Amino acid sequence: MERFDLPFSIPATHRIGFTHGAFGASNSLLRELLESGGGRRALVYLEDAVADAWPDLSSSIQQYFSHSSIALQAVNIAQGAEACKASDALVRQVWEQVEKHKIDRHSYVIAIGGGAFLDAVGFGAATAHRGVRLVRFPTTTLSQDDSGVGVKNGINAFGKKNWIGSFCVPYAVINDFDFLHSQSPEVCRLGLIEAIKVALVKDADFFTWIEENAALLGALEKGTLEECVKRSALWHARHITSGGDPFEMGSSRPLDFGHWAAHKLEQLSGFALSHAAAVSVGLWLDVCYSVRAGLLAAESAARIGRVLEIMGMPMFDEWLLHRDGKGELAVLAGLEEFREHLGGQLTVLLLRAPGQGVDVHEMNPLWIRESIADMKAACAQTQA
């Protein structure tokens, strides 16, 4: 009997651009990216909410490609938001369009929309012909500063978030800041929770910058907002390209700080609770737990709490109190579901200080319950 273990690496380049007016005639960023790749065809998927907010966008895209060597096959408008991940309907639509328009592995699928839309269209592109080049245009704060610059895609199944999906490096990501300013103020502001998260786990100086600019960020001051989104996006991308585990084969997930509870809260609410709001609540729960576990100083937690308050981030939700058929807090089941989704040993990142995380492999249910009780009491006091 013989065995051969032959290690190999997969060369990849994560291309991320930042711009304004990406489809303006004088903006060459997208055109140069596509033409340098040698492809000749492109298929565009545009989220319906973005098409509504930008009624001239479809015609602008067509006009833009009329001055390119890339042949635009179609601009398809489709439903986005979490509903587009509830089934494989959008994925199948992408497959059908790829087949109809003869999009090959050197052609491009261009997805323009929020994180959920990019996830679903991206999964379609990743599985058509075993991988068609994907160009992402994230249009929300949440997708520009986090998920849109990642390497994941997927849809929901069995009542669980992202149960079906894959890892696939996009051909390119273009963050057009103009899209940020067409969101509702609440959606725009909530999306900054992922910037707070990555600052807390990766960069104390970035967190201090957010702290110093919290009022401007809460007011969505244009320049400050764009700078925050850019810094967050680059931190997320650098973790993928330099963190040593781009496809998450291990068990440590520092960028999922606060997410074990967040994903469960989304599920419990039937996905009525937005991902950004759920992450904010889940992040604050893990901050409170870090204090109870003796890892994080109360003064540091207070700093984090003040930033969340100033920026208008939710710090409690009634779904934290929801109980299962046995009378236990239902959110606790999120720990095992989190472990199962990631694989291997349960690994949850907590905080020692802003910018300094620590992995733990178990969480005390009593401390979780007490942290939730503290959060509820603080919320009631704020509302009184």
DSSP one-letter string for 283-302 = HHHHHHHHHHTTSS-HHHHH
Residue type for position 360: V
Q: Residue range 208-214: average pLDDT?
A: 98
* pLDDT, tens digit (0-9, with 9 covering 90-100), for 293-322: 999 999 999 999 999 999 999 999 999 999
pLDDT value of residue 44: 98
Could you give all domains of the chain from N- to C-terminal order, each with its CATH number? 16-182 (3.40.50.1970), 249-383 (1.20.1090.10)
Confidence label for 382 from pLDDT (cuts 50, 70 and 90) = confident
- DSSP sequence for 308-365: HHHTT-----GGGG-B-TTSSBGGGHHHHHHHHHH-SS--EEEEEETTEEEEES---H
Q: Residue range 69-79: average pLDDT?
A: 95
pTM: 0.91
* pLDDT, tens digit (0-9, with 9 covering 90-100), for 136-146: 999 999 999 98
Beta bridge partners of 133: 108
Cβ pair 88, 157 in contact under 8 A:
no
Cβ pair 186, 277 in contact under 8 A:
no
pLDDT value of residue 126: 97
DSSP 8-state code for residue 356:
E
Q: Say how far apart CA 93 and CA 362 lie, in whole Å.
A: 42
Residue 2: CB atoms within 10 A of its CB come to 3
Q: Is the pLDDT of residue 251 over 60?
A: no
pLDDT value of residue 196: 97
Query: Average pLDDT of the chain?
Result: 93
* pLDDT, tens digit (0-9, with 9 covering 90-100), for 217-238: 999 999 999 999 999 999 989 9
User: What distance, in Å, lies between the first and last C-alpha atoms of the chain?
Assistant: 74
Share of residues in the chain with pLDDT > 90 (%): 83
